[in-house]
Chain A
């Protein structure tokens, strides 16, 4: 073999020829091996599912109830028109679902746009800190250890587990209020904050007409006096809101305004009628 290395032109050419021949031979052998292995270990891949997956947002947040976007795409590809009604990607919303439906030839389901709302108004002003907490900054741990800095057993712990867990960066702790604030533009209603909050303070609600909605920002079920001791904005179950609108239910000293209540009609009245300010109305309030 060493004669290749002598360096004259003729041998140089043969060196190149040999190299190319050997590489070509390896390529042919590998191609044959690959061809047969690919045949032998072929996996069923659904072209349709692949195409649907490409449309999806690929956030893998699990909001649709499937284990990620690929799983959702597989379910879509297998779905009948009946099954498809139950499938919805809240992150992609109507845009994405129209495209998916077009691929499958089904009708698109109309889903109301949703957003996460926080059922607590225990801001730094309304519910001032009473004690110091020096442990790990985690709501879920603090919830096990004690009642919280504010003293409210149902209120926000203001340590931001939801913020750390939001896959879309739609939550941040408002420095003024201390409470997590939902960025409506970024929120996709995936429901991760609902799952992580140890006190269940988040709810996924319809955005409402022009983003106007009304809800009770309190989860405290204690009696009025006890609830007000810790937080100025606590719901005391005074029944005032129930008199304004018949759909409002009061249970365990806590009012609940269901999403079906028309915010445009009642919202302003409810918010102004609440003596503690536990009812939040996202529209404008006319103060005349």
Chain B
């Protein structure tokens, strides 16, 4: 056994609540109408290619990437386009969405639906990047950064290490865990494909040590793949954050204001590696993902393979919610966002739908800061959240910038552990918004 690795600044150990880790991935039923937002990624919204009345198949391109930092959007269902207008997002705002009434389940002919694993990688680096771009693959961890941009290494930069992020440090979520248990080989092949695209030989799959089954599975498979190693990391939050993961696995520290590529690393989520495998080996664009439906307000927690655009309320009904729901969260309980519209569609970045009971979402009143420095201890970026909060309260955003508020990764460790229950993360976020706005 190799030594368990971790990062050394801050971090917390919240309760895990991985109640859905034994639930095998099952297919969610097709929705009656799918609502597909054209902006499911960071960057410019995609340009809409279809109009009302068009018939689309599963996997048809319906919106084209607009610019470099953008991603293609494909239809996840077959049927008639009935609306191309503003739809309500999870936050209640209105954005351009394509609504498709589902008729049957007719796939594009080019997609290989044979369940057999295709192990041979024949394409060149450019071809792979092109296919990833055409398949609309984005980071599946939550941020939704377009994958081709990350894989296409800019000139003058060198990459020597690809890290596949199999760490799911958020409580409740088990989507990546199940994927690594059930589709380990596809993830490993996905890593090899990404390796080839980057032109390197080495890939590390990082998994936290509470996923023993996934680790065993991956270890068994990586024996026959040269260059792919499994690295076990400590179960600690936020171990799955990019910078913390690089620190744990390689010991390199990403300097303030820099990207992982500046320390010669590229980090991809396990779900993204799987999507890359499907895109390159099976010609299947990204139109479905694994979603964990869980939380203490759910009677039957599940891991579902969901078509993009399915309303979250469909999934919630499937998993039998309890009666007194206080909050619905997209993503994990630490970094996810509470939603006000349960009919909002599942997007490429929705890793979980959590329902929390009324009693567990109680927010106590904010107390006064007692200068205990707990927030400083737990901050994985080594910041001083209490000081940032103080500056933000007084509107001194430039002072907050001087103490590196822009390096905040918004993990929420400070708010979680503050004994006075000050919403420190909210202050950090506000300061970041204000500084970026002033530029």
Contacts and interface: CB of A to CB of B under 8 A. Distances in A.
B92 A147 contact: yes
A206 interface: no
B342 to A, nearest CB: 11
A225 interface: no
A113 interface: no
B91 A145 contact: yes
B91 A138 contact: no
Given A130-B340, A165-B395, A140 B91 contact: no
Chain A at the B interface: mostly helix, strand, loop or mixed? Answer: loop
Interface string B408-439: 00000000000000010011011001100000
B426 A147 contact: no
A112 B74 CA distance: 57
A85 to B, nearest CB: 30
Given A135-B423, A146-B340, A165-B395, A153 B430 contact: no
Interface residues of A, number: 17
Judged by DSSP, the binding face of B is mixed
A141 interface: yes
Interface string A20-44: 0000000000000000000000000
A134 interface: yes
A134 B433 CA distance: 19
Interface string A98-139: 000000000000000000000000000000001100111010
Contacts of A237: none
Contacts of B91: 145-147
Contacts, number: 41
B124 interface: no
A136 B92 contact: no
Contact of B92 (A135, A144, A148): A148
Given A153-B92, A153-B93, A147 B427 contact: no
B226 interface: no
Contacts of B363: 134
Q: Which of A130, A135, A148, A222 has the most CB of B within 10 A?
A: A135
Given A130-B340, A136-B423, A165-B395, A144 B93 contact: no
Given A131-B340, A144-B433, A136 B93 contact: no
B360 interface: no
A136 B433 contact: no
A138 B372 CA distance: 25
A102 B187 CA distance: 80
Interface in B85-123: 91-94
B26 interface: no
Given A140-B434, A146-B340, 14 more contacts: A130-B340, A131-B340, A135-B423, A136-B427, A140-B433, A141-B429, A141-B430, A146-B91, A147-B91, A147-B93, A147-B340, A151-B92, A151-B340, A153-B93
